[in-house]
A = this chain, B = another copy of it.
Amino acid sequence: MYAKLVARESSRILGSDESGRAMSSTRSTPARRRRAPRGTLSPDAIVQAATEVIATDGLDALTIRRLADDLGVRPMSLYTHFRDKDAILRAVAEQQLSHYQVTESASSPIDRLGQLMRAYYQLLIDHPVLLRLDAAFEGMTPAQARFTEEIHSCLRPLDIPPPTAVGLVAMLVRYVIGAAYVYPTRSAWDTDPDHWTHVAARWAALPLDDYPSMHAVAADYPSFSQQDVFEFGLRALLEAIAAKAPRSAR
């Protein structure tokens, strides 16, 4: 969790090196330029660099100093364009959220709702910043409004009363967020083929008298990928939603 002593090369070597800095080592000292030219930075460039850092080395690797390094600039320069790190994070999140769209066509409102949630889940997994910020979002960005509108447009034809609809959407969102939150630490489910065998074995090793139900389950343990679990739960949720609708719709 706090392994910060990992070797980390400065990932971009600047093209020109016109400065004669103190070179204590032999040849290939990176030796950054004295001062970055005036147009080097822009909000967009910063957001893009931040996105790259997150994609490459994860959210924890995103520090002001690292970002400045990648941009060939000094840390403090970033503060000309963003008031603080949080603002950068928000900008990144907003930009990533704007990539959200579902192009497939659906055969029914419930079907469509499922597609939307799958896309939302995938988005949160691909862009963990969104997960961290989804909690903190107060205002409603255009992308968020579009998303919300789409969801409720699925519920409307089902004749679900608004209060119920709001409750159901909240339920779906919590499920998706929970699944995405838990995702990174369940990677063994997808990568280790023996994972479930081991889990079942561990359950079976518990004292039978105290853990009879777990023993019963261990005897017929499934092997789910994370995608499987998500899909399974999502379907159950969608069925629950369909059940809330009057007899008229699907």
Interfacial residues, chain A to chain B (CB-CB below 8 A): 1-2, 84-86, 134-136, 140, 145, 148-149, 152-153, 155-156, 161-163, 165-168, 170-171, 173-179, 181-182, 184-185, 202, 206, 210-214, 216-217, 219-222, 224, 228-229, 232-233, 236-237, 239-241, 243-244
Contact = CB atoms under 8 A, between A and B. Distances in A.
Contact of A2 (B84, B134, B170): B84
A21 to B, nearest CB: 32
Contacts of A232: 167, 170-171
Give the interface SS of chain A, mostly helix, strand, loop or mixed. helix
Given A167-B222, A206-B145, A213-B149, A182 B174 contact: yes
A243 B173 CA distance: 22
**Identical chains bound together, number:** 2
Contact of A210 (B149, B163, B175, B213): B149
A181 B183 CA distance: 14
Contacts of A148: 214
Given A165-B217, A236-B237, 20 more contacts: A2-B84, A152-B214, A153-B212, A162-B216, A162-B220, A162-B221, A163-B221, A167-B224, A167-B233, A167-B236, A168-B233, A170-B232, A171-B175, A171-B233, A174-B179, A174-B233, A175-B233, A177-B182, A236-B241, A239-B243
Contacts of A84: 2
Contacts of A220: 161-163
Contacts of A244: 236
